[in-house]
Amino acid sequence: MPRLPRIHIQGAVHYVTLQGSQSREIFKDKADYKVYLDLLNKYKSQHHFKLFSYCLLPDSLHLLIETGDNATISEVMHDLNSLYTKYFNGRYQKRGSLFESRFKSVLVEKTNYLLQMTRQVHLAQEKATLAANSIGGAGRMQSHPYNSYNLYVPKAQGDSESQAQKTIDIFEEMNEVMSFLRNKNNEASYERYCLSGNEEEIAELDKKLRRGSILGSDSFEAEVRRRIEQYSKDQKDEVLAAKRPFNLFVFIIGAGILLASVLAITLYVSKKSLEEKYATLLAKKEAEFAEKSRFKNRSPIALSDLEGTIWEIEMLPLAGVKTPEIVKDHLRFSQGHFSSDNYSASGFSPTNFSRTIQPGSGVVIWETIQSNAAGDTVSWRGDWQGDAMKGVLSFTPVGKNPKDFSFFSVKWDYAEIGK
C-alpha cells in the first residue's frame, strides 16, 4: 500500500515503529535510553501530543501517539530522531543516518483499538525475546525497564533503570486507556488483560499492522481516504495556482531575475571569502590543539578527572556565518555537573555529563545535553587531553534549525580561580 500523507485525523492514533539503519543498535546502554525518554518528554510538552504507550528496544522502538493540532506525526518524529541521532553519533563517533530513512506509521481508530494497541506495543518486547531465543512468555513483559508496561503495572522495583522512565509523564493517557478497560470489563486489571490476551486475536492484529496503513472500521477508513483525497486535491490546486502566468509582471520578474543573478554572484564571492577566512581560523585552532595534545601528561590533573576545573574557550560557527566573529565562553566542571557561563545566563541549568576514555590515545570524551524552560536545547561533546580541549556544540532553539559551533580551549584553571 502506498505511504499515507502525514495528515491530522481527529479520533486517530499513530502506531509508529522504527528500526536502526541496517539493523544496527540505536540504544547501547542506560544513558542512551534515558536521553531518548528525556527527548520524548520534551517534545511531548512542546508539540502537545499524547503518548499512550512505548517500548524501546536495542535495535527498534514502538510508540503509540495521538498528535495535537500544532504538529504532524512527521514533525514530531523528525524533531525526536534528528536530535537523538546527533547525540548518538557524537557519543559513539558515528556518521550518517542512525534510523531507517522513514518511520512506519499506521493510522488507527482510537475508539475501537486504543486498548488493544497499548497491549500490542507492550508485547513488542516479548516478540523480540521470542524471536531471539525461541522461548519466553507473557510474564516477561515487565522485565524490560524501557517499556511503559511497567507504568501501567508498577512492580516493587527500585533500580535506577526502572526509575529512569518515570521522568516521562503519561499518567493522563494511562487513565484514558483504563477507562476503556473499565467499560470493557469493570473488574479486569490491566495486567490480567495483557497476560490473558487471545493469541489468535493478537497475531491477527499484528498481521493487519504489518500489511496496512489504516486500521479501523469501514466508516473510519472511508473518512481517512476522503481526507487523503481532499489533501491531494488541495496540493494539486496549490501547484496549479503557483503555475498561473502573471503577464503584467513578466518584465518586472525578468529584471528581478537579472538583479538576483548579480546579487547571487556577489553573495557567492562574499560567502567564499568568509568560508576561506573561517577555514583558516579553524585550521589554526586545530593546529594549536594538536601542538598542545602531542605532549603527554602535561596537565597536573589526572586524565580521568575534570572535577573542579574551569576552561576558557573560543567558539566558531560551523554554518550560516555572517561575520567572522569568535565567541568566548567558560566551561565549568563542579560537583559532577557541567555548565557554560553563556548558556547559564540563558536559563540552562548545570547537568550531569558522561565521560569515556579512548583506548590507546588516552583522550577523554565528555558529553551532555542541556535544555531551558523555553524548550531550547544545546548538546555538547568535548575531547580533552592534558591541558588542551576541543569539541562541538549544537544549539537548537524551539521551532528553528540548529546552530553548530566548534570550540577550542585557550587555557584552563581550577574553578575557584577566575570566578
Report which of residues 230 and 327 the model is more confident about: 327
Domains 12-235 and 272-414 agree in fold:
no
Q: How far apart are CA 276 and CA 272, in angstroms?
A: 6
Percentage of the chain surpassing pLDDT 70? 71
**Ranges of each domain in the chain:** 12-235, 272-414
Mean predicted confidence (pLDDT) in 401-407:
86
Per-residue confidence (pLDDT) for residue 418, from 0 to 100: 41
Confidence of residue 52 (pLDDT cuts 50, 70, 90): very high
pLDDT over threshold 80, residue 288: no
Q: Long-range contacts: 41-49, Cβ < 8 Å, 24+? A: 41/167, 41/168, 41/169, 42/371, 42/375, 42/377, 43/76, 43/79, 43/80, 44/168, 44/169, 45/375, 46/79, 46/375, 46/398, 47/71, 47/75, 47/76, 47/79, 49/76
* Residue position matching grid coordinates 521522568: 167
Question: How much is the pTM?
Answer: 0.57
Q: At 410, give phi and psi (nearest 5°).
A: -100, -45
The tens digit of pLDDT for each residue in 19-35 reads 998 878 999 999 999 99
Structure letter (DSSP) for residue 384: E
Residue 178 confidence class, pLDDT cut points 50, 70, 90: very high
Q: Write out pLDDT tens, residues 124-147.
A: 888 766 655 544 444 445 457 899
User: What does the pLDDT read at residue 213?
Assistant: 87
* pLDDT given for residue 162 in this prediction: 52
Q: Does domain 12-235 have CATH number 3.30.70.1290?
A: yes
310 pLDDT more than 80: yes
CATH number for the segment(s) 272-414: 2.40.128
More confident residue, 268 or 280: 280
Beta bridge partners of 355: 366
Average pLDDT over residues 201-213: 90
Position 57 pLDDT exceeds 60: yes
pLDDT at 215: 93
Q: Please compute the mean of the pLDDT values over residues 34-44 and round it to a whole number.
A: 92
3-state secondary structure of 27: coil
